[in-house]
Each structure stands twice: as C-alpha cells, then as structure tokens.
Amino acid sequence: MAATTPGHTPDIWAHVYRIDGILNGDVLARPVTSLSKLHNSRENVGGHVDWEWIDYSHKQDDGYDPNAVLVDTITASDGNGADVPYNNTAINSPIAYLPQLAAFALGKLAGIPAQPTYYLAEAFMLAVYACCTAVAVALLPKWRIFAALIMLSQLMLYRYPFAISADSMTQAIAILLSCMLMRALYRRATPRYYTALAAVCLLLAMCKFVYAPLILLAPLIPWIQQGHGNPAQAKGGMWIPAVGDLMALGCSAFWMKANSWFVTTPMMVSYDEMAGRKHALLTDAPFMWRTIKAICLSAVTGHANLNVRSDTLIIRCGWIAMLLMGAMLLAATIAATVRHTLRKRETVFWWCACIIIIGIILLTYLALWLQYTPSGSAMVEGMQYRYFLPMTVLGGLCFAQSASTVFGAHVQPAQPKR
C-alpha cells in the first residue's frame, strides 16, 4: 500500500468519483455531459463529485488511468463540485464500496483533505480484507495452511486487499464465502450458520454481479448435511440458504434492471450497438459462432487488455490452473467410485463449484465482448487477470481435496464433526 502511488490502480478515478457521487446523493447514475479520455462520448453517465476530488485526481494523474475528467468539458457545476462521468463504475452498488464509503464520509465530516482521506479509505479496506481472510482461514476444517498461502501470494496481495475498487470488497467476500462453504462440507451447520451464509451470499451478489453464480452453491449445503446423517438439523435450516439466494438474486436483478439503460464504455461500444449484439447473440447464427470463436481464441491465447505481456502469462496460468482443477476432480471422482473415499454429494458439490468457476470466467469474456470489444476485433478485448482472483481459494480447495482423494490414504470418509 505504501509503495503504490495514488492513481496507480485500475480505474481508480472512476471508483473515487463513484464513491463521492454516492455520498452526494447520486446512488443511481444519471446522464452527464463532461468527458474523460476513456468516456469521450455523448452517452456518458455519472454524478456530482466534489471539487476536492476532481482537483486531487488531476494533481495525481500521470496518464496511468484515463478516467480523470477533462475539466474544460465540465458544463454542470456549482461551488461544491461538478457532474463528471464514470460509466464503468456506475453499475457498482454501494455495497461494493462499504469500507471506502465509511472513510470518505468520515473525511468529509471531519474536514480531512483528499490525500489523507485517500489513504484512510485504503486502510479501512485493508482492515476489512484482513478480517474477512482471517475469519475465512479460521473457519476451514482442513487445508488452512494451503489456503493461507494462496491468500498471501503476490498476486492476491499486490493491489486488491487495499485498493479503492469494487474488486477489493468482492475478493474479500468471495474468499470468505469459499471457506464458509468448505466448512459446511465437514462440520455440522446450524440455522445461525445458514443465516450468516445467506448474508455473505447477499453481500457477494451485490458487490460484482458476475460472481453471483457462486451463491448457487449455498443451497447445496443442507442437502449435503442431510447426507451426513443429520437430517433434523439440516431440515431446520434448509430454507435459509434458498431464501437468502432468492433475496440476493432479486436484489441483484433489481439493481441491474435499474442500470440497464447505459453501457460501461460508450466510446468503445455504444448502447445501440450493445443492444444489437445482444439481440444477434440469440437470433443470428453467424454472430453466435463468431462470439464463440472469439472467446475460445482469447482464452487459448490468454489475450489480455492492451496486450500486456505479464497479464497474458497470468491469464494463461489461470486457464491452466482451471484445467488442472477439472482434471484432478475427474480423477478424484473415478478414484472415489472405486475406493469409496469421497461422498457422492460432496462430489456433486465440487463439480458444481468447478463448473461455476469456469462459467464465471466465460461470462466475463461474454460481457467484455458485448460491451467493450470494438467492432471488427477477432478476439475479446479488456480481459485482465484480476477477474480470476476472487475464485482462486475455492478453486484451490477443490484441487487440494481432489488430490487428497486421489493420492491420500484409502480410508472411509469420516462423519462430520460439530
């Protein structure tokens, strides 16, 4: 955090503007006329941002992030601030910025200048991230050291434990959910635990919607608990994860509907073009084939945003890791069938997790193809390795448990403990 210069995390000024816009009452974005280097179109949306943050973004801007507003394009302003664009973060709900919102609100109430408030927001996020990951490790019934090593790897710690970004909260909550699910596979879950699980699912669904499919694993837990020979206790809380998921998906659908009238990067893909692509995806066979071809080609080559070589290498490693996870799970399924070392319901859970992890990455490619990739491009543009990070712990646990089944001692699975 100390080594990262302000303004040197992805889309930082769009996130800063979004947070301050929320505090100024623009919870839902609205049309604005000002421009930035990234949002240089007539379809910009954003909100009212204090002059303090506009000035700070320009003072720190060295060309790393193209989201800083072009001051000479501002047409709507007052003594407190101006309307600025942030299409690419306008879709994020306030839930994704809870730690940063608290810091920005404290800074505004106490009259703290922009730079100390900036670092205060990073410190708040780091504290929340540390708490979530510490609780996550403590909850694990096995593989604690392995999971902790994943969380402490350079990629996981590089920016997002502290960054002023929706990715930071998403990563923290996704790790916590992964470990809560892992615990419920091997420990008896109570209605109170189911309630906590449902609350975490709601938080994740409202952080970044592309990761919402992870919450579909929660309703499997009561079913798995029943398979553990604990039907009474499982039945008592069976409805809680299901109702929690319905609430989470309902809130997510409502928010997406309320923000469906704009696109994230209108300079790259206009709203009309995006709508046309969505329609063609369902009705035009050649476009469907071109979409599939572009996604497959991008995945195979590891094509990264702006052709950054380091990102390309990491994306390739991410795909290789997912293939290894799937292969190890397949081997574990075969071994479990022969040796009876893995419960059938547990096997179903891990296959669902594997499919959801891969599906989320494919959905990310599809979203970038529809809203970010310029016409005529043969591959999907905008892919970054950070989209893999929230699922690394769950994928790692899947791999570790599968490897244990394949290479571990041939013993019957133990009954879950309290």
* Separation CA 379–CA 369 (nearest Å): 8
DSSP characters for 67-118? Answer: TSB-GGG--SB-SSEEEEE-HHHHTS-GGGGHHHHHHHHHHHHHT--HHHHH
> What pLDDT does residue 277 have?
97
* 406 located within any domain: yes
What element of type H or E holds 85? strand 81-85
354 within 8 A of 329, measured Cβ to Cβ: yes
Residue 128 main-chain phi, psi, to 5 deg:
-65, -45
Domain that holds residue 406: 272-418
Taking residues 143-152, report their average pLDDT: 97
Domain count for the chain = 1
Q: Is the pLDDT of residue 235 over 60?
A: no
- Model confidence over 307-351: pLDDT tens digits? 999 999 999 999 999 999 999 999 999 998 887 667 889 999 999
C-alpha to C-alpha distances, 301 to 215, 221, 239, 314, nearest whole angstrom: 30, 37, 43, 11
Residues 6+ apart with CB under 8 A from 352: 216, 217, 220
Q: Is the pLDDT of residue 415 over 70?
A: no
- Model confidence over 71-90: pLDDT tens digits? 999 999 999 999 999 999 99
* 304 located within any domain: yes
Taking residues 153-161, report their average pLDDT: 94
- Model confidence over 353-393: pLDDT tens digits? 999 999 999 999 999 999 999 999 999 999 999 999 999 99
Among the listed residues 172, 189, 93, 98, the one whose alpha carbon sits nearest the alpha carbon of residue 132: 172
* Separation CA 378–CA 291 (nearest Å): 9
* 349 located within any domain: yes
Residue 234 pLDDT grade (very low, low, confident, very high; cuts 50, 70, 90): low
- Model confidence over 246-296: pLDDT tens digits? 999 999 999 999 999 999 999 999 999 999 999 999 999 999 999 999 999
* 44 located within any domain: no
* 129 located within any domain: no
- Model confidence over 399-412: pLDDT tens digits? 999 999 999 755 45
* 315 located within any domain: yes
Side chain identity at residue 410, one-letter code: H
* 91 located within any domain: no
* 339 located within any domain: yes
Q: Is the pLDDT of residue 159 over 80?
A: yes
